[in-house]
Amino acid sequence: MNAHTTFPKLFCLENLSGQRVTLGEPWSPLLNGARAVPSGLDKEGYRQWCASPSTHSLFFSGYEGANSALRLGDQNPPQFMHALVVDYDAKVAPGEIDAFLKRANPEYPPNMVAASFSGNARAVWLFSSPLPVFDRKSQKAIINRFKKELKLKKLLPGLDEEALERPSQYYHCGDGWRVVHNSLMPVDLLQAWAIQASKATDWRTLGEVIPIERVADEVERKFPGRWPGPFEEGARGPRFWDESADSPGAAIVRPTGMQCFTGPKPFVTWTEIFGRKFTDEFRASTIGAAINGTWFDGRDYWLQVGGVWRPFKKPDISLHLRVAHAISDERPGGATASPLDIALEQIHQNRCLDGAAPFVFRRDHLIQFGGKQYLNISRSRIIEPMAGHGEWGDGFPWIADFLAGLFDPDEQLDFFLSWLAYAYRHALAGRPKNGQAIFLAGGVNQGKTLASNVLIGGLFGGHMDASDFLLGESHFNKELFEVGVWSVDDTVPSSDPKKQQLYSSMLKKIPANYAFQYHPKFRDQIMLPWAGRVVITCNADPESIRILPDVEMSILDKICLFRIRTAKRNFTDAADRIRAELPAFARWLRDYEIPLRCQGDVRFGVRCYHHATLIETARQSGNTAGFIELLERFLRSWFSNPSQLDWSGSATDLLAEMMADESTKHVAAKYTPDAIGRRLGQLKSQGYPIDYARQNGGNRTRSWTIRRDRNLAPQANDNNEPF
């Protein structure tokens, strides 16, 4: 053959088992003989010969791998294309080749043709400069461009498209090489075709996506004056980071780096150009900004939306990071994790919490409680006070007039306002304090519910009906802990003594305890602080008044009992007027100086108030009321004997005496000694004139004494009454 002396060498193997690649010329006449295919081989024998490690021939490729010294494959993908090698699965007689070649593109005919082992035709186009290979999509696109522009399907019959589209294909050198055309494929043309083909490339998978504006600033900072025009995506220019680069348009700006047509690599990432520090700092600032405000509780991701904390599952938070912050879920070339993976992992590692729960009145987003860290997801917002200062009624005339005439007697107002101001000031400061539960008892349509739900509930950011919870009819209390006021409106407790006792126990527990079991549905219970207020309203009729608690328990220091005055009232637009005046009223409460007579200890801040009539009503409906009647009947019978000056004995002795008395035995039969002992203890704690002592001896029996000159009305207790 008469080969052109400037034809570039291609990358060759000795056999198809080899891995080391060397440069060679498959068209060289020196291959005839020693490197030729042995005669007499059939097709299977030929395959075995090609694959044998003992074979010393030449198998060539038009591609160069990322490691140019090694064979192409999955671990060594093609990086440059030096030639287009096309096989045809059809035998063509040597004399017919010229006729077929007339079908070729006259401007770009093949440089050489040859025959394969099977006698089929092969054509080779050699490039004046290597053509970069960017990815599979763009390479397939440029192969399709070659098919079209070079008329490959029309050139010869039986185009082997599978081999054409497989860069790892190696071809035996064959024989019968013939030079058709001396000019190599021009680099400008190849680059133009490659640019069109690379539109199919997803550049975002090849490196770190960084805003072009930020990259442009870094280009000017590190390589001033090296880029000729606007630095923007798709712009062409030199390989500005390489001082030896002399081609003015050999590189194109892409979102993750530079597409190159000259130089050692077809694509160079921003990390390779500017260093890892540049991309690490960008990633830290970008991902840091994206995940700022996002928290993970081990189950849900939490994000504020419209000022409200809302839970999201992993697909939802991933969508948010992709759409709102442009965090890609595609892995850059060679990376094991996408930016989205990194963002989620950083949330798991650095923004992980023990839980999320509402901490009402607390202003911090993160709360340390019980040795754990929680996200405060409370939506309740206390009314902010109006600016400045004001006297009573300034800016809240309707509220002032309403409260001034609400209570009977009027002296209750100071205690109510002190209770309200103490609660409001601490809640406003984000440091809520415990306080008494209050009862508002009065006639129908006197403003009890308006005061509870609209005035108090509105002031503290909302209220929730706690009837089921206080009466033991529901254990799920998620909604209650989201507000600062628990209300009970005219709910009559069960006649079941156990439920009545549970109700009274809850009213005793809530003001005194700092933490409670918080139990949302489908979630584990946790201990949660709550220092809101309980407000209970009821009518004054005998049936409704049963909502008053069992005051026989040690509960009086934890409740306030207020009596509502019966009067003619006008509630037209009352709720709207209260809501409008709350900021001014809040300002007055913030500055209110609690009167000395209303000040209490450090536990509740203000002194409790118990309306005398309501106290007596509560006592009469309590568990000991019936026992007092039984005891009074027995004592009348006992002291009918003038010689008896007192009764003394244990609870068992008292029950035995009652059972022996004809006037009391039928009623006493329902009691036990334990029940008698509890009732006597409750009466004594309420101030009834009963003496108590423990007898000496091994059993240490309790001894009770009731004198003839007793008075079974309770003695006044200044600790329970403010007047």
Residues 294-333: pLDDT tens digits? 999 999 999 999 889 999 999 999 999 999 988 888 887 6
Distance CA 436, CA 171 (A): 93
CB atoms near residue 628 (< 10 Å) = 18
Of 633, 562, 218, 270, nearest to 418 by C-alpha is 562
- pTM over 0.85? The answer is no
How much is the pLDDT for 492? 55
How much is the pLDDT for 629? 81
How much is the pLDDT for 716? 43
Over its C-alpha atoms, the chain yields an Rg (Å, rounded) of 47
Exposed, middle or buried by CB within 10 Å (0-12, 13-18, 19+), for 408? middle
How much is the pLDDT for 148? 93
Of 466, 461, 449, 446, nearest to 507 by C-alpha is 466
CB atoms near residue 17 (< 10 Å) = 13
Distances in Å between the alpha carbon of 668 and those of 117, 248, 646? 119, 112, 20
How much is the pLDDT for 603? 86
How much is the pLDDT for 31? 61
Instruction: Give per-10-residue mean pLDDT for the chain (723 aa).
Output: 69 95 87 72 93 94 95 94 94 80 89 90 94 90 93 90 94 90 92 87 84 94 94 94 89 93 91 92 87 93 93 96 88 79 93 93 93 93 95 96 95 97 96 94 93 96 89 74 89 64 81 83 81 91 74 77 93 96 97 95 91 79 72 88 89 90 88 86 76 70 84 46 32
DSSP string computed for 602-636 = TTTSB---B-HHHHHHHHHTSTTHHHHHHHHHHHH
For residue 251, the cross-strand partners are 237, 260
Exposed, middle or buried by CB within 10 Å (0-12, 13-18, 19+), for 654? buried
Distance CA 583, CA 424 (A): 12
